[in-house]
Amino acid sequence: MSKSNLSACLIAASLAMMVAVPARADSTIKVSLWDKGGMMDMSKSMMMGMGMHANMKMAIMGVDVDQKSVAAGKVRFEVTNNSKETIHEMLVAPIADENVVLPFIANENRVDEEAAHDLGEVSELDPTKSGSLTLDLKPGNYILYCNVPGHFMAGMWTVLNVK
């Protein structure tokens, strides 16, 4: 092989490796999806969605994060469903602040994802399973929530601040 062909092959191989390597996140957030288990009555709204000023200590489900604030840039969410018997998911959407009321479809008991401007999700994780999502986030507030019917209003959300 000639020197110029070898150089061309090395350049092509280097470019292929750069494309094949996923972008590294600037920050990683560990997310825990949880519930109190047992027979939870999901037929009625607990009114624990945002802007409702609910007592979140009464929540039967939740989203916990190991950091409430991160720097702007690529953020990787490592999500674990810590439930023993319930499927959960995690969606991310931008919000103005914690007092905003997300668009809600009452007869479906869930947030209108399109109207909330959903940026991405780790969908339907079986109990004890994990998944991940990487987003490029600009400064602002974001809500992380579960949109399985009834879960958001049962308290399954948290706010992330991106600086």
Among 14-18, 29-33, 49-53, 146-150, which stretch is predicted with the lowest mean pLDDT?
14-18
Domain that holds residue 145: 24-162
For tokens 């409702």, name the residue. 52
For 88-121, the pLDDT digits (tens) are 999 999 998 878 888 999 899 999 999 999 999 9
Instruction: Supply the mean pLDDT for the chain.
Output: 83
For 22-59, the pLDDT digits (tens) are 557 799 999 999 999 866 555 555 555 655 556 677 78
What pLDDT, on a 0 to 100 scale, did the predictor assign at position 6?
A: 47
| pTM of the shown model | 0.80
What pLDDT, on a 0 to 100 scale, did the predictor assign at position 39?
A: 62
Is residue 5 predicted with pLDDT exceeding 90?
no
Is residue 17 predicted with pLDDT exceeding 60?
no
On whether residue 10 sits in a domain, the answer given is no
Q: What's the Cα-to-Cα distance from 44 to each of 39, 94, 152, 154, rounded to whole Å?
A: 13, 27, 12, 9
For residue 105 the two structure tokens come to 């479809």
- Number of domains within the chain: 1
CATH number assigned to the domain comprising residue 57: 2.60.40.420
Question: Based on the number of CB atoms within 10 Å of its own CB, is 93 exposed (0-12), middle (13-18) or buried (19 or more)?
Answer: buried
On whether residue 18 sits in a domain, the answer given is no
Do the Cβ atoms of 73 and 21 come closer than 8 Å? no
What pLDDT, on a 0 to 100 scale, did the predictor assign at position 18?
A: 44
On whether residue 49 sits in a domain, the answer given is yes
On whether residue 7 sits in a domain, the answer given is no
Do the Cβ atoms of 159 and 99 come closer than 8 Å? no
Q: What's the Cα-to-Cα distance from 5 to each of 1, 14, 90, rounded to whole Å?
A: 6, 14, 49
What is the SS3 assignment for 134? strand
How does DSSP classify residue 73?
E
